[in-house]
Amino acid sequence: MRRLGRTAVLLPLLFLLLFFFTPLVNIFGLSLTGTAVTQLFTRAAFRNVIWFTIWQAALSTALTLLIGLPAAYLFARYDFRGRALLRSLTTIPFVMPTVVVAAAFRALLGANGPINQALHVLSSISNLQSPITLRLEQTLTIILLAHVFYNVTVVIRLVGGFWANLDQRQVEAARVLGASPRRAFWEVTLPLLRPSLISAALLIYLFTFTSFGVILILGGPGFSTIETEIYRQYVTFLKPDTAAALSLLQILFTLALMSVYARWQRKTAVALDFRPQQANLRRPTTPAQKLFANAVVAGLFIFLIGPLLALVWRSLVDRDGQVTLAYYRALPELRRGSILFVPPLTAVRNSTGYALLTVLTAGFLGVLTAAMLARPSRWRNWLDPIFMLPLGASAVTLGFGYVVTFDWLRTSPLLVLIAHTLVAFPFVVRSLLPVMQGIKPNLREAAAVLGASPLRVWREVDLPIVGRALLVAAVFAFTVSMGEFGATSFIVRPNSGYLTLPIAIERYLGQPGALNFGQALAMSSILMVVSAIGFVAIERFRYADVGEF
């Protein structure tokens, strides 16, 4: 059994060594060849890309906080009908694949989207000579809207959850001493909220700094971040050394951001007096409170659910506004002149197959890792962060590292499975580890004293307890694999028969024609439904809110 225990440690470590550290080392070596690194700072085009990456992430973060704080206050202080449902709905955008979000915003804000159609009707009623049209595609505005859409739930969950448990007696004491509501907020509540606010801001900045799918699909060629430039330098311009230099810069930026976040978390971990959330909730009673609550609820529903509803609606209507299933019926067909070499439905089947295999591979490695980390060991403190490193790595960087390291696997679907397994692996571990750590050792000891073998102890003691966590981990692995876009965009070639659903959606969105756009929306709707079902399953089976996601 000791040999089995060593194998349990060595398998995940060997997997990380081969498929995580080796590609990163190769990127580092490739980036140092020639003058690629110096060009990043001497050429104006690259300096503009780096600067745009930095400031668009900062602006996206500020807008997300601005929109998210009223929602966080709503959930922290008010109890209203449908509160739990709305809070769950606000999380759905965060779990949507980037290609789905991009397709949803194009469906909502495109030239023939419902908003522009409503503006055309309004222009007709007002007898305007030329109709009012919003032209937001391939603009900074639509990029910022998509980033806020994605990350506003971070503010609601982190800041709102912290705010909901704060003891309000300190605010009440300030009011008794003569402070106005505004002054009590600025001098009492805000300083208490500052740790959660800065933590949320750092996370959002990290997410938007590494944004790939949103920039690539919604921004078009006019906007480029470090992530999209890595893709273009390798795929379009065939310059792997420049792409490697950009990847190295991306790794350094990401590590610095994660280091700042981790250090901030440690420095701000102070003891506070908390109260149960229900003790702080109250029904909105005054007209001002009711107006605020209704306005925020309506705004959240329109902003967060509107694009997803527009996506489904546009996939079901033709250019004349007639309801049709033509876009869905066309998915099994390979039309002449299609951008793909396989029918779109084949991409759906491929993604489903990859996702099922990812559940098995990431699940197996994740169970071994979580079981090992859950047991007391002198190695646990340094093994835990090592296993979590893929969580902070850019999927685009990983995908690029794979193509320069495993070129002999480029035509094999195995490389796609490896990439999906690596991306899903940390989610599996973090879903299982808190539950495994909560199992009392005396339960295992009692079973062992009664003669149970270690395998039987696992089967009859551990497994019944962690069963629901295993379901959550499996759903995480499945949905992460279904929506993975960054790494797969490097690995899967356009003429490959192993095309995945997100890649097929991106290809169709980039082509002109109503049928291409309609099929992209149909595939996006399928992927959205799968992701939403996965999220509902995670919420349903999660063990008493135990977990780190």
pLDDT in tens, 411-445: 788 899 999 999 999 888 888 877 777 666 666 66
To 5 degrees, how large is the angle CA 91–CA 94–CA 95?
A: 95
Contact 333, 343 (CB under 8 A): yes
Both tokens assigned to 101: 């979000």
Residues 59 and 144: their CA atoms lie apart, in Å, by 8
pLDDT at 241: 85
Tell me which DSSP letter residue 159 carries.
I
Q: CA-CA distance, 305 to 104, in Å (whole number)?
A: 10
Q: How many CB atoms lie within 10 A of CB 141?
A: 13
DSSP 8-state assignment for residue 2: H
Q: Of 443, 431, 434, nearest to 480 (Cα)?
A: 431
118-176 tens-digit pLDDT = 777 787 777 666 677 778 888 899 999 999 998 998 898 888 877 777 766 666 676 66
Q: DSSP class of residue 321?
A: S
- Angle, CA of 18, 255 and 23, to the nearest 5°: 20
Q: Work out whether the CA dihedral 92, 98, 103, 106 comes out positive or negative.
A: positive
To which residue do tokens 């079973």 refer? 447
Structure tokens at 426: 């940390």
* CB-based burial label for 395 (10 Å; 0-12, 13-18, 19+): buried
Matching residue, tokens 């004349």: 320
281 CB contacts (<8 Å, ≥6 apart)? 77, 78, 79, 164
Tell me which H or E stretch contains 286: none
* Separation of alpha carbons 108 and 103, rounded Å: 9
Closest CA to 489 of 312, 234, 308, 239: 234
Q: What angle (nearest 5°) sits at the alpha carbon of residue 368, between those of residues 363 and 369?
A: 95
Neighbouring C-beta atoms of residue 135, cutoff 10 Å: 12
Residue with tokens 């590590």: 255
Structural contact between residues 143 and 345, judged by C-beta atoms closer than 8 angstroms: no
At 214, is the secondary structure helix, strand, or coil?
helix
Name the CA dihedral angle for 285, 290, 292, 293, rounded to a multiple of 10 degrees.
100
Stretches where the chain sits below pLDDT 70 are 1-9, 34, 127-130, 167-172, 174-177, 187, 262-280, 336-340, 376-381, 438-445, 454, 458-463, 465, 494-495, 540-549
Residue 84's CB is within 10 A of a number of other CB atoms, namely: 9
Residues 311 and 447: their CA atoms lie apart, in Å, by 53
Radius of gyration (C-alpha) of the chain in whole angstroms: 25
Query: Environment class of residue 273 by beta-carbon count within 10 Å: exposed (0-12), middle (13-18) or buried (19+)?
Result: exposed
User: Which of 522, 517, 523 is closest to 503 using CA atoms?
Assistant: 523
Region at 81 (left for phi over 0; alpha for psi -120 to 50; beta for the rest): beta
**pLDDT score at 323:** 86
pTM of the model: 0.84
Neighbours of 29 (CB within 10 A): 12
- The DSSP H or E segment spanning 93 is helix 92-95
* DSSP bridge partners of 317: 323
- The runs of H, that is alpha helices, within 96-139 are 98-109, 114-125
The whole-number pLDDT of residue 55 equals 93
- DSSP letter for each residue of 171-196: HHHHHHTT--HHHHIIIIIHHHHHHH
Report phi then psi at 78, rounded to 5.
Answer: -120, 140
Instruction: Round to whole Å and give the CA distance between 38 and 261.
Output: 29
Which domains, from first to last, does the chain contain? 1-21+324-549 (1.10.3720.10), 51-220+266-314 (1.10.3720.10)
The residue with tokens 């030329």 is 130
Nearest by Cα to 470 from 391, 538, 388: 538
